[in-house]
Amino acid sequence: MSVMGLFFVFIASIAVTWLWRQGVMSSTWLAEGEVANYPGEALSPPPAAKVGLGVYLVVAGCLFSLMTAAFFMRMESSDWQPPPAPGILWFNTLALVVSSATIQMAQFAAASRSREGLKLWLGASGVFSLAFLLGQLCAWRELVDAGLYASSNPANAFFFLLTGAHGLHLIGGLVALGRTFRGAWDDRRNTALLASSVELCAIYWHFLLFVWLLLFAMLTGRAEALGAICRRILG
Amino acid sequence: MTDATVRPEDAVPPAETPEMELFHAHSWVTQYVFCQDAKVIAIQYAGTAIGIGLVALVMSWVIRIQLAFPGAISFIDADVYYQSVTMHGMIMVVYMLTAIFLGGFGNYLIPLMVGARDMVFPFVNMLSYWVYLLATLVLAASYFVPGGPTGAGWTLYPPQSILTGTPGHEYGIIMMLASLILFIVGFTMGGLNYVVTVLQGRTRGMTLMRMPLTAWGIFAAAVMALLAFPGLFVACVMLLLDRTLGTSFFMPSIVELGEHKNYNGGSPILFQHLFWFFGHPEVYIVALPAFGIVSDLISVHARKNIFGYRMMVWAIIAIGVLSMVVWGHHMYISGMDPWFGFFFAVTTLAIAVPTALKVYNWVLTLWHADIHFTTPMLFALGFLVTFVNGGITGLYLGNVIVDVPLSATLFVVAHFHMVMGIAPVLVIFGAIYHWYPKITGRMMDERLGKIHFWITFLGAYAIFFPMHYLGLLGMPRRFYEMGQTAFVPHSAELLNIFITVTALVVGFAQSIFFYNLFRSLKHGAPAGGNPWRAASLEWQTPETPPGHGNWGKELPIVYRWAYAYSVPGEPEDYLPQNVPPIAGEHSP
């Protein structure tokens, strides 16, 4: 449950900072003079879609941290066996890293109004994401061939659950990426709008990469080292 | 310093967000069925929620008839009894209360209260309703599959929920889990909208600390729901995998009917943690909108500004935060480490502080106020009393040593029905009587409304007060029949019969409300734009009921908070939020 604790501390710190900037602590009715005192006009809010994505990432983050918390709680039992770690996962991780990097390049291309670069980098990112998904399927195949089904033991079940949930999120992202990609080929499309949707995709990809790296570390048993560092810092 | 009375809008900073583009309906279907207008979606949500809520009401009669007259109706066997208990609980908590407060009132009131033309993502909002409807239909369809709906209790604890012997273990449980997963997906779409609309859709001058408390309550509840529902989602997905693919997330190795099942090494307690991680915040997801709405009802109908507005906002936030760390108090008897029990008892009792603060502020708002005993006000006062009642028994149950003996008795049933059953339902009624004129343009009948109130209020007490006593006698909850239980005296049976008869009467009396609701559509007195002389923004729309886009040509500009009542020296005793300031005014 300490995973959930960390996650909530993180969310709460964002929320408190935001509330503070909105002036929740001020009592405007006590101020003399002006009708009301407003938080400075310098606050330029992000577009609604970006805030919406941010809120969604909190929900998805909550989902993954709950599954992680369940994993760690289950791990404490004495009959725990570590989950399988097919070697192809290393290759998949690399593909996802490249995919995340290329989508960042796409965002730079969109910002510099280069349509051709945008098409290229978006396409590349899509291909590497598909490679990642295919690799994950291969990993599943490998486990099933080795007779390691989801029903074999709890660790396997967690492996399939976590990779499956992550994969589904990526498929959802690919739908959005596909729409953006189609928009990039349409010359009548507003460049600024296109740039903002590329930015949203990029944020989502980085988020999924971050989640995957944590899951990967956890599934291959490297989370212990991470946990030890955290405990050292907190202790 | 500018003189605010010459060109008042100069004192208001420019709007933070550009005007949104509205979706315009072109046909009857897109205007009334697949509609993207939050007001239509709100009515669809509320109608569906009330419809499925009536099914749950009938389920409660089945439970009560069996408890008072065991075996009197042959159709109610043990399976039907447990199925009724399960469906009553699940529908009322998730499909009725959550959906009507957030989907119904949230959709209708948030855009109007913050001065937006619509939700920020109207299409997603529409999708949210249709997924919710699908979830409801899947749930209702589980009555028609072989074996019927699940009878695992609304908590769906494994291992029993997916083992033979529990009614509905074949298909019912699968339908239930699928329906919950759909509900959460649909709700997440709606919840995103409510949160982002409050963050991004506010009109010029509408700062956070000028929002009515209803908007604050719904906003906080939506944030909590977005954080808590993933808990239920994960639990449902994992349980569904256990049931269908034979994984062992929650299922320990187990022998069933002499046969060793294929499960091994799952942890049932893990399910309880995940479930209650959702389950407890759920109480406040229902309660916070109710708190907000009651604050507004009391302030409007007592013609007085809400006492301690800023404290009320902070109390809402504090309750929201605290409620995420108390889930363990539902698991005192699960054999957890005593130190966990201690931790959860402390956090549970700590919630009493912000909650009591809110109650004091409501009472202090009423102090020396010009109280109008209209129907909405009566319901708000009814809520106040009922909530304090349920809250106080909550303090007992929050203590581990008191909870352990009482946990499996009707005392718990009485407690949670008072605090999260009756109290929020009273608020729903009050809110409908209050905002009905804005939604339809006509008033509901006051006399019928008062009759409805007194029957519901007194009836609810007649039903649930005796249950505390039965619980202290040791009468167990969840039991299909008592059999030869020596410690339950004869008087308890009489009391059970009394409760059942009252429950039937109060249930049927709700037809007064529905008669009033539908009759007033055509025959109610015309209400005008602002019949309660309320100051908040939703009453200042140019049209009643508000048209598509809510505000006509120009968005309103907000100059003050929503509680400018009984302002000294004013001809009217209230100042709407969008009226330019008068000289020397110091409204927040």
Instruction: Please give the pLDDT value at position A38.
Output: 47
Average the pLDDT over A130-155 and give the result: 90
Half-sphere exposure for A200 (CA within 13 Å, toward CB):
25
**Beta pairing partners, B565:** B574
Nearest-angstrom CA–CA distance, B536 and B163 = 53
Q: pLDDT tens for residues A177-209?
A: 999 999 888 877 778 888 889 999 999 999 999
Q: How many CB pairs under 8 A join A and B?
A: 149
Q: Smallest Cα–Cα separation from B550: which of B17, B7, B37? A: B37
CA–CA min distance A153, chain B (Å) = 7
Greater confidence (B498 vs B12) lies with B498
Other Cβ atoms closer than 10 A to B548: 17
ipTM over 0.90: no
Question: Is pLDDT at B1 greater than 50 in this prediction?
Answer: no
A151 and chain B in contact, CB less than 8 A: yes
Instruction: Please give the pLDDT value at position B413.
Output: 96
Half-sphere exposure for B280 (CA within 13 Å, toward CB):
24
Question: Is pLDDT at B259 greater than 90 in this prediction?
Answer: no
Nearest to A34 among B1, B262, B265 (CB): B1
What are the structural domains of chain B? 34-253+261-540 (1.20.210.10)
Instruction: Please give the pLDDT value at position A36.
Output: 46
Start-end of H helices in B93-169: 107-114, 122-141
Instruction: Please give the pLDDT value at position A76.
Output: 80
Average the pLDDT over B174-186 and give the result: 97
Instruction: Please give the pLDDT value at position B21.
Output: 67
B268 and chain A in contact, CB less than 8 A: no
Question: Is pLDDT at A27 greater than 70 in this prediction?
Answer: no
Instruction: Please give the pLDDT value at position A48.
Output: 84
pLDDT band of residue A35 (cuts 50, 70, 90) is: very low
What are the structural domains of chain A? 84-234 (1.20.120.80)
Note whether B93 and B286 are within 8 A (CB): yes
Instruction: Please give the pLDDT value at position B3.
Output: 47
Note whether B245 and B262 are within 8 A (CB): no
In order of B406, B407, B436, the CA distances from B413 in angstroms are: 10, 9, 32
pLDDT band of residue A234 (cuts 50, 70, 90) is: low
B164 and chain A in contact, CB less than 8 A: no
Interface contact A70-B241, CB threshold 8 A: no
Note whether A99 and A128 are within 8 A (CB): yes
How many helices and strands, by DSSP H and E, does chain B display?
A: 17, 2
For residue B449, what is the enclosing H or E element?
helix B446-473
Nearest-angstrom CA–CA distance, B217 and B318 = 12
Average the pLDDT over each of B94-108, B489-503, B544-558, B565-579 and give the range with the smallest value: B565-579
Best B223, B586, B587 residue to mutate vs chain A (most A CBs within 10 Å): B586
Greater confidence (B20 vs B138) lies with B138
CA–CA min distance A121, chain B (Å) = 29
- Measured between CA atoms, the residue of chain B closest to residue A56 is B192
Q: pLDDT tens for residues B376-393?
A: 999 999 999 999 999 999
Average the pLDDT over each of B216-230, B312-326, B379-393, B558-572 and give the range with the smallest value: B558-572
Greater confidence (A74 vs B152) lies with B152
Average the pLDDT over each of B202-216, B479-493, B527-541 and give the range with the smallest value: B479-493
Average the pLDDT over B524-551 and give the result: 92
Half-sphere exposure for B368 (CA within 13 Å, toward CB):
3
Instruction: Please give the pLDDT value at position A40.
Output: 45
Average the pLDDT over A6-33 and give the result: 67
Question: Is pLDDT at B233 greater than 60 in this prediction?
Answer: yes
- Using CA atoms of A114, A120, A126, A131 in order, give the dihedral in degrees to the nearest 10: -150
Q: Smallest Cα–Cα separation from B86: which of B147, B174, B158, B155? A: B155
Q: Please give the distance of CA B57 from its chain centroid, rounded to a whole number.
A: 16
Average the pLDDT over B96-123 and give the result: 95
Average the pLDDT over A225-234 and give the result: 67
**Beta pairing partners, A193:** none
Tell me the pTM: 0.92
Sign of CA dihedral A54, A58, A63, A69: positive
Residue type present at position A175: V
Cis peptide before B230 (omega within 30 of 0): no
At residue B533, the 3 state secondary structure works out as coil
User: Across all residues in chain B, what is the average pLDDT?
Assistant: 91
Greater confidence (B1 vs A193) lies with A193
Nearest-angstrom CA–CA distance, A35 and B586 = 6
Average the pLDDT over A30-52 and give the result: 58
Nearest-angstrom CA–CA distance, B19 and A52 = 17
- Measured between CA atoms, the residue of chain B closest to residue A16 is B317
Nearest-angstrom CA–CA distance, B267 and B248 = 8
Other Cβ atoms closer than 10 A to B489: 12
Residue type present at position A172: G
Q: Which two tokens stand for residue A60?
A: 């998805």
Start-end of H helices in A22-47: none
B262 and chain A in contact, CB less than 8 A: yes
Nearest-angstrom CA–CA distance, B413 and B174 = 27
Q: pLDDT tens for residues B387-414?
A: 999 999 999 999 999 999 999 999 999 9
Q: pLDDT tens for residues B443-474?
A: 999 999 999 999 999 999 999 999 999 999 98
- Measured between CA atoms, the residue of chain A closest to residue B308 is A27
Interface contact A67-B585, CB threshold 8 A: no
